Amino acid sequence: MSNLRKISVSLGGVLLILAIFFAGAYFGYSERPAIEKVTSVTNKATPPLISSDSVDFDPFWESWKIIEEKYVAKDGINKQDMVWGAIQGLAKSLDDPYTVFFPPEEKEMFESQIRGDFEGVGMEIGIRKGILTVVAPLKDTPAYNAGIKSGDKIIKIDDTVTSDMSLEEAVKLIRGPKGTKVNLTVIRNDEDKTRQIPIIRDKIEIPAIETDNISINSSSSSANGEEGTDNQAASNRQSQKSDDGIFVIKLFNFNENSVQAFREALREMAASGRNKLILDLRSNPGGFLEVAVDTASWFLPMGKVVVKEKFGDGRETLYRSRGYNVFGDMPIVVLINEGSASASEILAGALQDYGRATLVGQKTFGKGSVQELVSMTPDTALKVTIARWFTPNDRSISEEGLEPDVKVDFTEEDALAGHDPQMDKAIEILKNSK
């Protein structure tokens, strides 16, 4: 009996130890990191470059597990779409409308826009103070012809409200096949009521440049507006040869064709004998940085800083004039408005900082940041803001935009009457210049 009792005690002790072991193992298993509980996802390991003590990913993986286990429509779960959505949310948390993730369909749309072979309405849009806003309609596109204006706030796209909508979501809804219609509900500056603008989509061909010769006669409008009529103002802008004529270069964007187009415009100006220039950057949404630097090089001496590119780690890249500088001391006026953005602001800001031109019009849009497109997979990409642009005098383009030297509004009434007060002011300034 004594031996039996000893065996029983020993067996009981072993069983107790085993019970404690399995209870601990079960507890440890149930309390393991949430990432280990998700078995349907590959490549889950936290990258070594991310410090494990700085970010707690457990809530993310716990949420993933709960959705897998409890979501009512389990057959409708697309786990890859969940990954894309998570990355989109990660980018959106930065509160930067230009940092976005492109799933496969959106990546293809973005690349087609860069190639310039897309169909849609033809306008640049951005996020301003959290509101979807028109930067500029491109000339002779469906948006332009339908009456869309720079600064229009887009409240609805068809029946979809745009609050909290990303740029990419808006572009996806606005673009579409040629011949189809989209209705934009917009509210215009200084107006209380919304207006609905129907637009028929078309193939978009982006223009590059336009030129004009302007002659000045004795009947031009005076500074105080007491002389001259609308007809006279129009005659001031007619294309006639005159010794005191002004040459106008209208840049619609800074794309890969703009460099050669600008050179050809300069040759045309030289042949015309004009000695005063109006550079019209109104409603120019921008384009390539290198094109803006090349264009600025025609106005500035060699080595002058055109724009400063500042990165988050404190690094700074300076882009300098190549020194073509063919204009010398020629009087120049640059026209700007709230649709002038990005590369337009780089060029206008440099000429303003060096006192090389007088800026006339309205405050610019304020889009002064640099994005890099990083491939995540063969079909997806992350567009991330990596730097911000500053003028030579260290003015932040993205935070402030550019204020004109001479502020002149251009109202809808002016447009309906065929009157361009900003152009008239530019002519007046150049007429009085030496």
pLDDT above 50 (res 243): no
244, part of any domain = yes
Q: Which of 180, 203, 226 is the last residue of a domain?
A: 203
Candidates 381, 387, 391, 428; CA nearest to 408 is 428
- Taking alpha carbons only, the member of 129, 150, 190, 134 closest to residue 335 is 150
Angle in degrees, CA 138, 143, 145, rounded to 5: 90
| Same domain (yes/no): 424, 294 | yes
Do 367 and 425 share a domain, yes or no?
Answer: yes
Q: Is residue 2 situated within a structural domain?
A: no
What domain range is 138 assigned to?
100-203
DSSP state of 175: -
Q: Are residues 182 and 270 in the same domain?
A: no
In terms of domains, do 396 and 270 share one? Answer: yes
pLDDT above 90 covers a percentage of the chain that reads 50
Q: What is the mean pLDDT of residues 268-293?
A: 92
Least confident span in 23-27, 78-82, 184-188, 255-259: 23-27
In a domain, 65, yes or no: no
Domain annotation covers residue 406: yes
Q: Give mean pLDDT, residues 198-222.
A: 69
What average pLDDT is seen over the chain?
83
CATH assignment at residue 156: 2.30.42.10
Q: Which among 193, 244, 197, 194 has a CA at the least distance from the CA of 216?
A: 244
Average pLDDT over residues 249-277: 91
What percent of the chain clears pLDDT 70, i.e. is strictly above it?
Answer: 79
Does residue 275 share a domain with residue 131?
no
pLDDT attached to residue 218: 31
The answer to whether the beta carbons of residues 243 and 216 sit under 8 Å apart is: no
What band does 44 get if pLDDT is binned at 50, 70 and 90?
low
314 and 183 in a common domain: no
What pLDDT shows up at residue 184?
97
Give yes or no: residues 284 and 414 share one domain.
yes
Same domain, residue pair 124 and 263:
no
Q: Please check whether residues 245 and 193 belong to one and the same domain.
A: no
Q: Which CATH number fits the domain that encloses residue 340?
A: 3.90.226.10
- Decide which of 381 and 20 is more confident: 381
Q: Which of 142, 168, 203 is the last residue of a domain?
A: 203
Mean per-residue pLDDT, 271-283: 93
Residue 51: its pLDDT value, please? 52
Q: What pLDDT is recorded for position 352?
A: 98
Considering only 14-23, 64-73, 128-137, 350-359, which range has the smallest mean pLDDT?
14-23
User: Residue 82 domain-assigned?
Assistant: no
Q: State the pLDDT at residue 196.
A: 96
The pTM assigned to this predicted structure is 0.73
In this predicted structure, what is the pLDDT of residue 113? 63
From 165, 186, 203, the end of a domain falls on: 203
Q: Let me know whether 185 and 213 are in one domain.
A: no
Classify residue 231 by its DSSP letter.
Answer: H
Structural domain contains residue 63: no
Task: Please give the residue that has the higher pLDDT: either 68 or 207.
Answer: 68
Residue 371 located in a structural domain: yes
156 and 136 within one domain: yes
**Residue 225's pLDDT band (boundaries 50, 70, 90)?**
very low
CB 322 within 8 A of CB 294: yes
HEC string for 269-328: HHHHCCCCEEEECCCCCCECHHHHHHHHCCCCCCCCEEEEEEECCCCEEEEECCCCCCCC
Res 227: pLDDT: 33
Which range (275-284, 305-314, 406-415) has the least confidence?
406-415
Name the more confident of 169 and 43: 169
Task: Give the mean pLDDT of 329-338.
Answer: 95
The band of 144, judged by pLDDT with boundaries at 50, 70 and 90, is very high
Which residue has better confidence, 121 or 227?
121
Number of domains in the chain: 2
- The residue among 48 and 227 whose pLDDT is bigger is 48
Q: What is the pLDDT of residue 407?
A: 98
Would you say residue 49 lies in a domain? no
Whether residue 199 sits in one domain with residue 142? yes
